Structure 1
Amino acid sequence: MLKITSNLVLFMAAALLAGCAKKTDSDQSKVENTTEKKGTFGYDLAFLKKHKEVIVLTAPDDEKSKAIVVADYQGRVMTSTADGEAGNSYGWINYELIGSGENKPHINAFGGEDRFWLSPEGGQFSVYFKRGQKFDFENWQTPAVIDSEPYEVVSSDQHSVLFKKNAVLENHSGTRLEFGIDRKVSMLSKSDVSRLLSVSSFENIKITAYESENTLTNHGADWKKETGAVGVWILGMFTPGEKTTIIAPFSKEQSEKPALTDNYFGSIPAERLTIRDSAVFLKADGKFRSKIGLAPQSARPVAGSYDAEKQILTIIQYDLDTKGDYLKSTWELHKEPYKGDALNAYNDGPLDDGSQMGPFYELESNSSVKLLKKNEKLTHVHRTYHFEGEKGSLNNIAKQILGVAIDQIP
């Protein structure tokens, strides 16, 4: 009898172990499948790990809220998710360019939701065109310090990372600019999101959010208005969709009509650009190259996009000085170089020769420019929020933050 009981116990133990092993194998398979499914955070994490050392940040209060940061790509946030490895990956990544391991002329568009750049791009104070050069594509060159050079990691923990980099550039007018770059990327908690956006309820919503704090320190001669300066420019690249729309709310305090620039690449067809009440809407399908800009007196410190297919609401929030000077970036000499945009948005599309960098779309913010004396600093904060879930809940958030109901989006 004792022998039978012992055998029974051994049989049950073996069965239990087999069940556990089966469950473990199933869980492992689930993780592996996630890395194989394009569009998921797990896929992008696995891809980037093959090519670069990555830093994965996690929100203080939610293990599923994550972001991938790469020091070799100037400390940019490559992508993020609100739902762990199996969740949607929100950033656009240039798999082909990264996979090639090569650096391209003019620009290396690796992708990323939050990348550090410098303004202005064009004009007499541009750091993208050498002295005396024409403003055309052949002469345009993104400085290596914001394009191909790695940044040094000063410190990091589970929730944030701090980078630094020194730069020496000469602008189109021949002015030498020496400065340091400090860039800190930090994940935000739900309580941070609630406080920063004044939104109290996130029922039936998945959230991820982070901020980049970007500081320039002048290490050289004093910056002067007549010889030029640089500003912080943050650009976020996202995956476009047939039913994705950029939303740029504007203030009516100065004028009923927005101070809007919409002819960067020629006129935009009416079915792609709409102005209603207090918001500008731009189609973000990655099929028509178009860009808009709002001057500081018309911009609001928030903008966003809505993907109706995946039910994802993206919001950017940034430092805005409505009375400040902003550097102009169009490819020409400027009569008023300090009358530029605070907010820009871009939809990618084919060039005249049929080639295309993306497709992607961008939400961009600029800092006001400061004429820094030696050792003075300029800081610009840019935040990115993603909300994913039920349309009704997203509608409430959109109305509170952007002043636009989702049903109002063209």
Structure 2
Amino acid sequence: MIKAFLPTMAVAVLISTLACQHQNNTANSSTKQDTTTMEGTFGYDVDFLKKQKEVILLQAPDNPMAQAVLVPDYQGRVMTSTAGGTDGGSYGWLNYAHISSGKHTPHMNAYGGEERFWLSPEGGQYSVYFEKGKAFTFDNWQTPPLIDSEPFEVVQSNASSALFRKSAQLDNYSGTRFTFDIERQISMLDKGTIQDRLGITLPDQVKSVAYESRNTLINRGDDWTKEKGVLGIWIMGMFKPTEKTTIIAPIDKQRSVQLLLTDNYFGKIPGERLRVTDTAVLLNADGKYRSKIGLAPQSARPVAGSYDAEKGILTVVQYDLNPEGDYLKSSWEIHQEPYQGDALNAYNDGPLEDGSQMGPFYELESNSSVKALKKGESLVHRHRTFHFEGDKKLLADIATKVLGVDLSTLEGNSK
């Protein structure tokens, strides 16, 4: 009986062991999958987007934890990115309700996303957001479908880059017709390239993710003229605000004695929300007060950023800047000097007069200089986005080197 019992007992032990292993594997699998249910993580956002649209997931060539997710149907925009893989924080602001509705809304579709392609100018006699003869009012404002609700074609993609294309035709407020192609390439950057582009040494203790968009307009129609209007490239990114987030817009005083700053887009900004130092313009980015700033190319530097002292996140954007170039104005009025616009814009979202609010979010935006393109000629604008997480002192070193700002001075600018 003992001999007969031993094999049975061994089988029972084996079955029990396998059952435990299965339970452990299931538990591990469940734990891994649970990250997609944790709002705020990159895994959550990727899972959400996959349920709505086709996505393209990219990662840095040398770091599988540095990732970004793109949606071709949303004009190849970078929806969000992370320096920490699936479990890491998700940096971009997403409009979950609008995306999941599957509906198109009047005026614009605010899907969110931390890097999207738009065209300028928005207002003025060369606007491509208002029909000829219509008043510059919200009721008449309409984002062109080609940069709002129409997909971009995926030309090619691999593990770390994707190329998109769109052929389009568009009329401006003055009646000028443009026939053109858009090409947009998103490329993830490795650590060496991050260091080279920003001129820094990146400590191993700092987590990072970065990517570059190379945006091209190719004229396929009649020659463009400044007298009839031209098109510009406008790159915009939406990010998550906190009580302790500050937008940093570095200034260059060598090219212009007077600071060429526009800070009254939506009325005067209270002094406790906007501060000008010797090196930068600082704007609160708490998503609680609608405000916008713009820097002319003579006063801007080819970098800007934000610092979230609450979560310990330093964000930097770097873009092509031509201090002597022509930049389109986008304010909603006829312009006396339509080519004296901003190179850099930043926006903090907040409630409208009726109490409604799209966000909250904040934006970092760059504009291209413009030129009159002959048929077949191109305009290129590059925009890079960097996120850094780590020890506050290490982030402060990066901010001082790249943005010329001491992060310890920002606490007083955040509410």
* TM-score of the superposed pair, with normalisation by structure 2: 0.96
Q: Is 1:370 aligned to residue 371 of structure 2?
A: yes
Q: Aligned residues: percent identity?
A: 60
Q: Is the 8 A contact 1:315 1:384 kept in 2?
A: yes
Going from structure 1 to structure 2, the CA distance change for 1:157 and 1:5 (only over 3 Å counts) comes to farther
Output one character per residue of 1:261-306: Cα deviation in whole Å (capped at 9) or x when no partner: 0011111000000001110000001111100000001111100001
Partner of 2:216: 215
2:367, 2:17 → 1: CA distance? 60
Going from structure 1 to structure 2, the CA distance change for 1:207 and 1:13 (only over 3 Å counts) comes to farther
Q: Is 1:261 aligned to residue 262 of structure 2?
A: yes
The alpha-carbon deviation at position 84 of structure 1 amounts to 1.0
Moved more, 199-208 or 132-141: 199-208
Number of residue pairs aligned between Structure 1 and Structure 2: 410
Mapping for residues 26-175 of structure 1, pairs under 5 Å = 26-175=27-176
Partner of 1:205: 206
Q: Is the 8 A contact 1:203 1:393 kept in 2?
A: no
Give the 4+ runs in structure 1 shifted more than 6 A.
1-9
SS of residue matched to 2:138: coil
Output one character per residue of 1:144-187: Cα deviation in whole Å (capped at 9) or x when no partner: 00000001000011111100001111101110011100001111
SS of residue matched to 1:372: coil
Output one character per residue of 1:288-327: Cα deviation in whole Å (capped at 9) or x when no partner: 1100000001111100001111100000000111110000
Write the letter of the residue equivalent to 1:189: D
The alpha-carbon deviation at position 22 of structure 1 amounts to 3.2
Partner of 1:180: 181
1:282, 1:118 → 2: CA distance? 25
Going from structure 1 to structure 2, the CA distance change for 1:233 and 1:2 (only over 3 Å counts) comes to farther
1:162, 1:155 → 2: CA distance? 5
Q: Is 1:282 aligned to residue 283 of structure 2?
A: yes
Going from structure 1 to structure 2, the CA distance change for 1:115 and 1:18 (only over 3 Å counts) comes to same
1:16, 1:205 → 2: CA distance? 42
Output one character per residue of 1:344-364: Cα deviation in whole Å (capped at 9) or x when no partner: 000001111111111110000
Write the letter of the residue equivalent to 1:291: K
SS of residue matched to 1:400: helix
2:14, 2:367 → 1: CA distance? 64
Mapping for residues 234-245 of structure 1, pairs under 5 Å = 234-245=235-246
Alignment gaps of 5+ in structure 1: none
2:369, 2:333 → 1: CA distance? 20
Partner of 2:350: 349
Output one character per residue of 1:215-249: Cα deviation in whole Å (capped at 9) or x when no partner: 00000111101000001000000011111110000
1:8, 1:277 → 2: CA distance? 80
SS of residue matched to 2:68: strand
Output one character per residue of 1:183-234: Cα deviation in whole Å (capped at 9) or x when no partner: 0111111111011111113232111111111000000111101000001000
Alignment gaps of 5+ in structure 2: none
Mapping for residues 317-336 of structure 1, pairs under 5 Å = 317-336=318-337
The alpha-carbon deviation at position 8 of structure 1 amounts to 7.8
Write the letter of the residue equivalent to 1:245: T
1:397, 1:23 → 2: CA distance? 43
1:136, 1:88 → 2: CA distance? 38
Going from structure 1 to structure 2, the CA distance change for 1:326 and 1:17 (only over 3 Å counts) comes to same
The alpha-carbon deviation at position 31 of structure 1 amounts to 2.3
Partner of 1:20: 21
1:266, 1:31 → 2: CA distance? 48
2:360, 2:184 → 1: CA distance? 27
The alpha-carbon deviation at position 23 of structure 1 amounts to 3.1
The alpha-carbon deviation at position 16 of structure 1 amounts to 4.9
Output one character per residue of 1:99-152: Cα deviation in whole Å (capped at 9) or x when no partner: 111000000010001000001101111000011111110100000000000010
1:20, 1:159 → 2: CA distance? 36
SS of residue matched to 1:29: helix
SS of residue matched to 1:51: coil
Write the letter of the residue equivalent to 2:76: G
SS of residue matched to 2:87: coil
The alpha-carbon deviation at position 43 of structure 1 amounts to 0.9
SS of residue matched to 2:91: coil
The alpha-carbon deviation at position 21 of structure 1 amounts to 2.3
Partner of 1:393: 394
SS of residue matched to 2:80: strand
SS of residue matched to 1:166: strand
SS of residue matched to 1:398: helix
SS of residue matched to 2:233: strand
Write the letter of the residue equivalent to 1:370: K
